[in-house]
Structure 1
Amino acid sequence: MTLTIQELAHLCDAAPQGGDLSASIHSAADIMTAQAGQVTVLSDSKYKPYLKDCKASACFVSSEFHTEEAPAGIAMLLSKDPEISFLNAVDALHPVAKIDRQISPHAVIADRVTLGDNLHIGPFATIGQHCSIGADCEIHAGVHIGNNVKIGKHCKIHPNVVIYDNTVVGDHVIIHAGAIVAADGFGYKYRNNQHIKVPHVGNVVIADHVEIGANTCIDRGALGSTTIGSGSKIDNLVQLGHNNKVGRNVIICGQSGISGSCTIEDGAILAGSSGIADHVKIGQQAVVMARSGVSQDIKPGTQVWGSPAKERKVAWKELAALSKLPDLLKKFKELQERVTKLEQ
């Protein structure tokens, strides 16, 4: 879509300053590569040096930006939240392609399935007995939905997702390609030199506005439910074990692994490659930094790092001290030699 700078500013709740407000904007780009006809954003001061040579036609900036610093010819779009204004511009300029909604004749839909209005069900999708699919959902090619699954309204299930029996999915949920929801948890008892499988007869319950990344696996509960709270976002390649309780607006980044029966409270962040032992509680707004291994409860609002994870400042001090160890050993050896000479 193409919009004038004036139209774009109005759409994104920004006040334009300078530039040619009648100029057309056809796309968005980052501040380092943007060209004429594109809009960009300056949301972080570390990118300010790039502004002077920027060739974009318009740039979203903070309302507190001094417009005299702007290069000639660029319209500065002053906004209370330039990042969000820019995201709105991206949505407007790069609209998602609409699909021709249909229920493919190659889809396999069991009896006694309740289908809402305005659905898209792609070829070779399969839907089991007693399922309910809400209005305006998109079920793409190759998706398998088991029996007794309930999916709310306005959900998008990308190709080759597998949703096992008895799963409950809320409204406005996005599940990306290859994700597996409600497979058996990894539970065994060792008896008589063999591993006895623990039956998993629970389910997975996903609240509204959750997004689940590609190739992520969420295991069902052994007896109860594995739950994902509203607004939480789970990255690609995440393993979420059985009976976990994930709160609201939680962020779990890629390649993280959460063992069974953990509680991740509201607003917590697990950075990339985090590892969480079983039965651990991560408090509200706590941050587990990248590649950390957590084996004990984390208090609300704290930041931890390392393996085993410790409070961030403590862990960094220990790391700094460890870097001095070679010099300390050298000095210790010198002192040891001096003591030996004195004793002789």
Structure 2
Amino acid sequence: MPMTLKELADACNARIQGGDSSVLIDAVADIGSAATGQVTQLISGRYAKYIKGSAASACFVAEDFAVADVPQSMALLITKDPELSFIKAIGLLHPERAYLPGIAPQAVLENDVSLGGGVFVGPYAVIGGQACIGDGTAILAGSYIGSRVKIGKNCRIYPYAVIYDDVVIGDNVIIHSGAIIGADGFGYKFRDNRHVKVPQVGNVIIEDNVEIGANTCVDRGALGSTTLGMGSKIDNLVQIGHNNKIGRHVIMCGQVGVSGSCKIGDYAILAGSAGVADHVNIGQGAVVMARAGVAGDVPAKTQVFGSPAKDKRVAYKEQVALAKLPELLKKVKWLEERLQHLEKSDRDAGS
């Protein structure tokens, strides 16, 4: 939604320096490609070289950030936190699509479904019996909501997401396309030369302000609940096994896999492709680095790396040592040959 530079600055708590406060801003862009009528940001000296040739009409910068070679046509938007101000500008200039309340004629709602005010249900969405959908929530085309599911206010369920029976979802939750919430956990007992399935009769509980990426799977508890704490953000292609207890404001990056019955503390970060064995505790604020394989508990506020994962300082030293191994083997071989030569010389001298 276009607005004047002054309107944008006021909305983002920024002070204008230079430029034309009446110029119309209609989009955001990165500093390397921004054009006239667009706003950008500069938060690192590494990108300062781009500002001289930039055609952007405005640029967010921090209060204490010195900027040289600013084009005459560019206004600086000076703010305490340019990244947050830029995020707000994105929301103002590129608002999310709004869905008017209503139920598409192609949608299927079973018996005793409860819909709050302002709910949107898209074409071919299915909502099971006794489900409860909170005010302002949008259930988009082709998504499936099982029986007795409870979804809070202002949630967005993207097309073809699947939410199994009895799942409980808080307010302001986003679930992207292809995500599956509440499928059976992977539980079997081996008896009489075959795998006997353990019935999975628990559910999933997702607290407020959680976002779950596309094609991510969150398994239901075997008996109790799999829980995702308030404010946690789960990337695409993540597997969360049954009975996990995920804390508040946890980050899980793409292709993370967490086996069953783990506890992950508040503010923990699991980087891309990290794998966690079952019954592991990861402490508050811990960081599991990319591709780490976690087989044991991780203390709070530590960083682990490698497979098996260990303190990153130890793991890095091992990586450095491994890099030196070929040269070390050459030296060992040379020393062996030298020793054999000396031994032969001694034998020849003795004879």
CA–CA distance in structure 1, aligned partners of residues 338 and 188 of structure 2: 59
- Asked if the contact 1:17–1:67 (Cα under 8 Å) also holds between the matched residues in 2, the reply is no
> 5 Å matches for 1:42-81?
42-81=42-81
Distance across 1 between alignment mates of 2:312 and 2:26: 44
TM-score for both structures, normalised by structure 1: 0.98
Q: Give, in whole Å, the separation in 1 of the partners of 2:326 and 2:71.
A: 51
Q: TM-score, normalised by structure 2?
A: 0.96
Q: Deviation of residue 162 (structure 1)? A: 0.9
Whether the 8 Å contact between 1:275 and 1:294 is mirrored in structure 2 is: yes
Residue 95 of structure 2: aligned partner: 95
What are structure 2's unaligned runs of at least 5 residues?
345-351
Mapped contact 2:245–2:264 kept (Cα < 8 A): yes
Between the aligned partners of 2:68 and 2:325, the Cα distance in structure 1 is 52
Aligned to 2:108: 108
Distance 2:67 2:238 in 1: 44
**Alignment match, 1:269:** 269
- Separation (CA, whole Å) in 2 of partners of 1:81 and 1:35: 23
What is the CA-CA distance between 1:67 and the residue it aligns to? 4.8
Shift of 1:68: 4.9
Output the CA distance in 1 between the equivalents of 2:128 and 2:6: 51
Deviations 1:60-95 (A, max 9, x none): 000012355533321111110000001111111111
Please say if residues 143 and 158 of structure 2, whose CA atoms lie closer than 8 Å, have aligned partners that are also in contact: yes
What is the CA RMSD across the aligned residues, in angstroms? 1.1
Question: Counterpart of 1:39 in structure 2: which amino acid?
Answer: V
Corresponding residue number in structure 2 for 1:4? 4
Once residues 11 and 341 of structure 2 are traced to their aligned partners in structure 1, the CA distance between those partners, rounded to angstroms, is: 82
Measured after TM superposition, the shift of residue 99 of structure 1 is 2.5
Aligned to 2:185: 185
Structure-2 residue corresponding to 1:199: 199
Structure 1 residue 50 displacement after superposition: 1.6
| Cα deviation 1:97-123 (Å, max 9, x = unaligned) | 323331112211111121111110111
Q: Is the 8 A contact 2:100 2:118 kept in 1?
A: no
What pairs up with 1:154-233 in 2 under 5 angstroms? 154-233=154-233
Aligned: 1:244 with 2:244: yes
1:334 aligned partner, one-letter code: W
Alignment of 1:317-336 (within 5 A): 317-336=317-336
Moved over 4 A (4+): none
Q: Per-residue deviation at 1:21?
A: 1.5
Give the SS at the match of 1:95.
coil
Fraction of identical pairs, as percent: 58
Letter in 2 for 1:229: G
Q: Report the 3-state secondary structure (helix = DSSP H, G, I; strand = E; otherwise coil) of the residue aligned with 1:34.
A: coil
1:340 and 2:347 aligned: no
Q: Tell me what 2:348 maps to.
A: none
Tell me the distance in 2 between the aligned counterparts of 1:67 and 1:317.
39
Tell me the secondary structure at the aligned position of residue 52 of structure 1: coil
Structure 1, gaps ≥5 residues long: none
Aligned residues: 344
Amino acid in structure 2 at the alignment position of 1:216: T
Q: Secondary structure at the match of 1:321?
A: helix
For residues 68 and 329 of structure 2, the distance between their equivalents in structure 1, rounded to whole angstroms, comes to: 57
Q: Give the secondary-structure state (helix, strand or coil) at the position aligned to 1:267.
A: coil
Q: Select the structure of larger CA radius of gyration.
A: 2
1:43 aligned counterpart, secondary structure: coil
The 1-side partners of 2:282 and 2:69 are apart by: 45
Secondary structure, counterpart of 2:223 in structure 1: coil
The equivalent residue for 2:347 is none
How far apart, in 2, do the equivalents of 1:258 and 1:34 lie? 40
| Residue of structure 1 in register with 2:259 after alignment | 259
Matched-pair contact (CA < 8 Å) for 1:67–1:76: no
Q: Which amino acid aligns with 2:167?
A: T
Q: Does structure 2 retain, via aligned residues, the 8 Å contact 1:110–1:129?
A: yes
Give the superposition deviation at 1:44.
2.2
Q: What is the CA deviation profile of residues 265-300 of structure 1, one whole-angstrom value per residue up to 9, with x for unaligned ones? A: 100011111101001111111111111111111111
